[in-house]
Amino acid sequence: MYVIGTAGHVDHGKSTLVEALTGIDPDRLKEEKQRAMTIDLGFAWLTLPSGEGVGVVDVPGHQDFIKNMLAGVGGIDAALFVVAADEGIMPQSREHLAILDLLRIRRGVIAVTKADLIDDEDWLELVQADIAETVAGTILENAPLISVSAMTGMGLKQLLQTLDDTLADVPTRLNRGRPRLPIDRVFSISGFGTIVTGTLLDGNLQVGQEIEILPQGLKSRIRGLQSHKQKVDESVPGSRAAVNLTGLSATEVKRGSVLTSPGWLDPSQLLDTHLEVLTDAPRPLKHNQEIELFTGATQMMGHARLLGTRQIKPGESGWVQLRLLERIPVMKGDRFIIRQPSPSLTIGGGVIVDPLPRRRHRRFQPELISRLEMLLAGTPEDVLLAELDRRGPLAIRTVLAETGLPTKTASNALTNLLDEAQVFSLTDTVENVANLPRSKTIIASPGGWATVLGQIKSRLNNYHQQYPLRLGLPKNELKSRLQFETRQFNDLLQYAQQHGDLVVAETVVRLPQHQVSFTPDQQRTVDQLLAKFHQAPYNTPLPKDVTAKIGDDLFVALLEGGQLIRLSKEVVLLQETYHGFVDWLRAYFDHADSINLAHVRDQFKTSRKYAMALLEYTDEQRLTKRMGDVRVRGSRL
């Protein structure tokens, strides 16, 4: 399944040619009919001589609607570059060609339209020569050129066959199993609800599938799918898809949003990119210059932060960190265009090298430029290592999917890195090469591991200094700060503990050298409190009174250190008192089948509140089991 997109100057016959080829008028808006000019994206489809179904995206040619044009060309496989025979190359012809070149649309056919209007063969040859000169050095340099007429049908069969031959050389789109559909149109139909359309770049979409709309984070489910107005159960990479969504209004979704499966694609406000400035750009790109970014169907304002240089002159390229006004969902390898907002014109474009840089970079750092160059042009092993160095421990399937490498290439490269011990597993198991793309095993590079471990140790050290009387940082708090998935986090802690870097308790994590110790004054306060607990072991002070007496920090230290145990919101006992109660229970059930609350209250000369707290806590620990008004022996007693 392929998609072709038109390109060319206004009124050069793009829409008329599409209608002649497909039988479908792509101009759908009333204003487009009135002005006889394409304003927004139009869509059609056709069947090539080989039987291959092809989607067609028709774009506006007028300079006022270049932004709409950019929303339509990002997902195409080949360009149908249209030049009218009676006018030849015009300003938007050149701008559209530059955009195709920057987006690396590497396949295309040139259609010289309105050829029936030209009687002078010398003029037609002159137009063709002008086109050849214009496309020289661009991705359309060797594109076939066909003279056609939508009015008479001249050359249309040849054009269809040429498109068929051109698309036969287009590689099949990679399917990494992560659906991504940039939304280029949103509308609603009575009785059906919200419909979004776009070109599916990766993964499959199925009826009934749960999806997410980014960057809004909206959740929905696919009610229905269509391709070329035919119902389908599944859409595949490279196809045009119309997706009927449940539970969302058309006002909640907008062009530029991305439809995907939940939980894997993180929108970003910073993008590390390699950018080319057009040769005919009016001036150099300067540091912190305001720009408009176009990628996929997304349009976003931002600023260009130049890295390693003070300006990028026309015709030159350089490293740029784009700082955007809002977060957008993109991936490594996505192409983009930047335009100057006012006056509106195309400045250049390039490729996203790192969609999730950790921070705003300092501008002149040779090591940063080296890393970006390696990401752009390194070996598969270099790319994998750079990803693991940057992000730390990751699941194998995650790192393979997010490097943008072909699955087999990435799997083989990772196997080489594992064999050479440049990458290691946090557990003992690593699947064979065939299973790597699905593997949840967590791996790390030495550099990435050192970075993450250093971050954890720094956080723990700060926590220990801030709360010296606490045993360690709660696991959930550390996990939340690191933003790790559960398996990733647990394997990381286990590996660090095995190698003596961390001490992991049931609920907290600490540095090995950290020990809770009291000052002499604190120790005297603690001793006085514990004396009261010993005096009345089953009628102890309330927690609120304890904290009022010794403070929260000392109270938590006694709980974490195991000297006190909290049975309920209002009952705290000495650990030794509680264990003595458990021993008594064990002996009691050796000669009795059940016990009630009153018996415990009377036996230990306490109140109903304390007796209830004891039995409810032993219920939770499965030492006892409640049966109506009595307790019986639990499974763990």
pLDDT in tens, 265-291: 889 999 999 999 999 899 999 999 999
- How does pLDDT run across 313-347, given as a tens digit for each residue? 999 999 999 999 999 999 888 999 999 988 888 99
Range of the domain at 463: 378-517
In a domain, 579, yes or no: yes
| Mean pLDDT, residues 559-583 taken together | 93
Q: What is the pTM of this model?
A: 0.64
Distance of CA 570 to the CA centre of its chain: 45
In a domain, 174, yes or no: no
Split at pLDDT 50, 70, 90, the class of 372 is confident
Looking at the structure, do residues 125 and 160 belong to the same domain, yes or no? yes
- Beta carbons of 386 and 374 less than 8 angstroms apart: yes
| Mean pLDDT, residues 595-623 taken together | 95
Q: Which pLDDT value is given to residue 31?
A: 56
- How does pLDDT run across 492-504, given as a tens digit for each residue? 999 999 999 999 9
Q: Which pLDDT value is given to residue 433?
A: 67
DSSP 346-366: EEEEEEEEESS-SSPPPS--H
3-state secondary structure 531-587: HHHHHCCCCCCCHHHHHHHHCHHHHHHHHHCCCEEECCCCCEEEHHHHHHHHHHHHH
Show which of 344, 368, 392 is a domain's final residue: 368
For the chain, the average pLDDT equals: 88
Show which of 465, 484, 517 is a domain's final residue: 517
Instruction: State the CB neighbour count (10 A cutoff) for residue 17.
Output: 25
In a domain, 175, yes or no: no
Looking at the structure, do residues 191 and 71 belong to the same domain, yes or no? no
Q: Which pLDDT value is given to residue 438?
A: 83
- How does pLDDT run across 514-549, given as a tens digit for each residue? 988 888 999 999 999 999 999 999 999 999 999 998
Looking at the structure, do residues 249 and 293 belong to the same domain, yes or no? no
Task: Please state the domain count of the chain.
Answer: 5
Both tokens assigned to 490: 């647990």
In a domain, 56, yes or no: yes
Looking at the structure, do residues 126 and 7 belong to the same domain, yes or no? yes
In a domain, 596, yes or no: yes
Q: Which residues contact 547 (CB under 8 A, 6 or more apart)?
A: 555
Q: Which pLDDT value is given to residue 32?
A: 44
- Beta carbons of 444 and 423 less than 8 angstroms apart: yes
CA–CA distance, 629 with 587 (Å, rounded to integer): 21
Both tokens assigned to 370: 């080296």
| Mean pLDDT, residues 248-253 taken together | 92
- How does pLDDT run across 21-50, given as a tens digit for each residue? 988 876 655 554 455 545 467 888 898 998
Q: Which pLDDT value is given to residue 34?
A: 52
Looking at the structure, do residues 12 and 158 belong to the same domain, yes or no? yes
- Beta carbons of 100 and 7 less than 8 angstroms apart: yes
Split at pLDDT 50, 70, 90, the class of 506 is confident
Looking at the structure, do residues 282 and 205 belong to the same domain, yes or no? no
- How does pLDDT run across 139-176, given as a tens digit for each residue? 899 999 999 999 999 999 999 999 999 998 887 776 66
Q: Which pLDDT value is given to residue 196?
A: 93
* Percent of the chain surpassing pLDDT 90: 50
Split at pLDDT 50, 70, 90, the class of 70 is confident
| Range of weakest confidence among 106-115, 212-221, 407-416, 602-611 | 407-416
- Beta carbons of 625 and 631 less than 8 angstroms apart: yes
In a domain, 573, yes or no: yes
Show which of 517, 547, 568 is a domain's final residue: 517
CA–CA distance, 68 with 43 (Å, rounded to integer): 13
Task: Report the alpha-carbon angle 519-523-528, nearest 5.
Answer: 155
CA–CA distance, 597 with 631 (Å, rounded to integer): 8
Looking at the structure, do residues 191 and 243 belong to the same domain, yes or no? yes
CATH of the domain at 493: 1.10.10.10
Looking at the structure, do residues 121 and 246 belong to the same domain, yes or no? no
- The phi and psi torsions of 606 (rounded to 5 degrees) equal -125, -175
Looking at the structure, do residues 13 and 89 belong to the same domain, yes or no? yes
Looking at the structure, do residues 309 and 256 belong to the same domain, yes or no? no
Sequence letter at residue 101: D
DSSP 202: B
Task: Report the alpha-carbon angle 116-120-126, nearest 5.
Answer: 100
Instruction: State the CB neighbour count (10 A cutoff) for residue 87.
Output: 14
In a domain, 373, yes or no: no
Sequence letter at residue 92: Q
| Range of weakest confidence among 60-69, 86-95, 503-512, 522-531 | 60-69
In a domain, 173, yes or no: no
Pick from 474, 481, 464, 478: nearest CA to 505? 474
Q: Which pLDDT value is given to residue 336?
A: 94
Half-sphere exposure at residue 109, Cβ-oriented, CA atoms within 13 angstroms: 25
- Beta carbons of 381 and 413 less than 8 angstroms apart: yes
End-to-end, the C-alpha distance of the chain in Å comes to 65
Looking at the structure, do residues 33 and 133 belong to the same domain, yes or no? yes
Looking at the structure, do residues 79 and 135 belong to the same domain, yes or no? yes
- How does pLDDT run across 450-470, given as a tens digit for each residue? 878 888 888 898 888 888 988
CATH of the domain at 218: 2.40.30.10
Pick from 225, 219, 266: nearest CA to 243? 225
Q: Greater confidence, 27 or 358?
A: 358
Instruction: State the CB neighbour count (10 A cutoff) for residue 506.
Output: 5
Instruction: State the CB neighbour count (10 A cutoff) for residue 490.
Output: 16
Distances (CA, A) of 126 to 34, 111, 133, 456: 33, 15, 11, 69
Both tokens assigned to 2: 């392929």
